[in-house]
Every structure is written in structure tokens, then in C-alpha cells.
């Protein structure tokens, strides 16, 4: 089954690339891919609750606490008690966080964007169709996937 191997190898290369770029991101921007993803989620709407981050990233609240701790420590985000429901904590992105987001764009995504743009129209269409098909084959259809790459940057909208 030669083509099967080829496709699996290609998939692994794709995974590998995302992993390596996660490391690059960390070195270049001083922020890990996971923290970057948290920052993105915060910045989307300007503020979110810890629970929402946990749900979207599919990690526990305990994990979110520690991730936000690091962002706060590094001045990327701040916590603020919600006035409406004081159990909740709103997490806000700071100027520095916003700056980090804009200055440390995902190199993997950038590379992909650039090369994708260079494709012919029909090639783009075909590639989209194929990637979606592969995703479906991996049974990942119920995933709430925002258009950002990162191994750690993965979430699901509605849970089982």
C-alpha cells in the first residue's frame, strides 16, 4: 500500500512542521505557541472569561489559570473581576500583548499563506477540497477551528 504510506508520511511532515515552528515562535517571540493561542483568543473580543478560554482550547480551568498567570507575569494580559458576576474574571489583553500578537505572527502560517497565494485558482480550490476531506477522514468535523495554525492552538466548539 504505497500511497497510504506516502500520505501518512506527508501528514507527519505537516505535523512536524507545525511542531518545529512552535519552537521557532518561542525563540523568536519569547512566547510559546499555547500562550500565543490564549492571547489570540483574548484579543479576538478584547476580553474573555477563563472558562471560555478553557472551553475553546479544550483544556481544564486549572490549565488556563496557569497559562494566564504567565501572560500576566509577562505583561501581556491583565485580570479584572467581572462587575456583573464577581465569580468571573475577565481577562484583557494589554498593549504589549497586542504588540506581541502583531509582531510575532505565526511563521508557519505566514509561510503557508504566501505559498498558497501563489497557487493558481484551481489549485487552491483543489487543495482546500483535499484538506477538508483529510480532516473529515480524521473525524475532526466537529471542531471549531479558527484559521490559525499551531499545534497547541486547537480547540473544539461544542463538546460531546
Q: Which does 79 bind (CB under 5 to 8 A by kind): DNA, a copy of itself, none?
A: DNA
Please, which residue, 58 or 113, has the CB nearer to DNA? 58
CA atoms within a 13 Å half-sphere pointing along the CA-CB vector of 90: 14
- Taking CB under 7 A as the rule, does residue 76 contact DNA? no
Q: Which residue has the cell 473525524?
A: 139
| By the rule CB under 8 A, 47 interacts with a copy of itself | no
Give, in degrees to the nearest 5, the angle at Cα 34 between 32 and 91.
105
From 8-16, 30-38, 102-110, 129-137, span contacting DNA (CB under 7 A) = 30-38
- Separation in Å, CA 118 to CA 112, 122, 124, 130, 149: 10, 12, 9, 18, 19
Answer for which of 40, 89, 94, 109 binds DNA (CB under 7 A) is 89
Interface with DNA includes 94 (CB under 7 A)?
no
Residue with cell 471542531: 143
Nearest distance in Å: CB 30, a copy of itself? 21
Q: According to the binding rule CB under 7 A, does residue 66 interact with DNA? A: yes
- The footprint of a copy of itself on residues 99-118 (CB under 8 A) is 108-109, 111-113, 115-117
Integer Cα distance of 48 and 157 in angstroms: 15
**Gap between the Cα atoms of 136 and 116, Å rounded:** 21
Cell numbers given for 117: 497565494
What letter does residue 89 receive in the DSSP assignment? E
Positions that interact with a copy of itself (CB under 8 A) = 1, 3-20, 108-109, 111-113, 115-117, 124-128, 130-135, 137-141, 143, 145-151, 153-156
Amino acid at each position: 500500500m504505497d500511497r497510504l504510506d506516502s500520505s501518512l508520511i506527508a501528514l507527519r511532515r505537516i505535523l512536524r512542521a507545525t511542531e518545529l515552528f512552535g519552537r521557532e515562535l518561542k525563540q523568536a517571540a519569547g512566547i510559546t505557541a499555547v500562550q500565543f493561542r490564549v492571547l489570540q483568543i483574548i484579543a479576538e473580543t478584547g476580553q474573555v472569561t477563563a472558562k471560555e478560554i478553557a472551553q475553546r482550547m479544550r483544556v481544564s480551568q486549572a490549565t488556563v489559570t496557569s497559562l494566564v498567570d504567565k501572560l500576566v507575569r509577562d505583561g501581556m494580559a491583565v485580570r479584572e473581576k467581572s462587575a456583573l458576576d464577581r465569580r468571573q474574571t475577565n481577562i484583557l489583553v494589554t498593549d504589549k500583548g497586542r504588540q506581541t500578537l502583531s509582531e510575532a505572527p505565526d511563521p508557519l502560517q505566514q509561510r503557508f499563506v504566501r505559498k498558497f497565494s501563489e497557487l493558481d485558482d484551481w489549485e487552491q480550490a483543489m487543495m482546500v477540497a483535499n484538506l477538508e476531506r483529510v480532516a473529515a477522514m480524521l473525524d475532526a468535523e466537529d471542531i471549531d477551528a479558527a484559521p490559525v495554525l499551531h499545534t497547541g492552538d486547537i480547540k473544539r466548539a461544542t463538546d460531546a
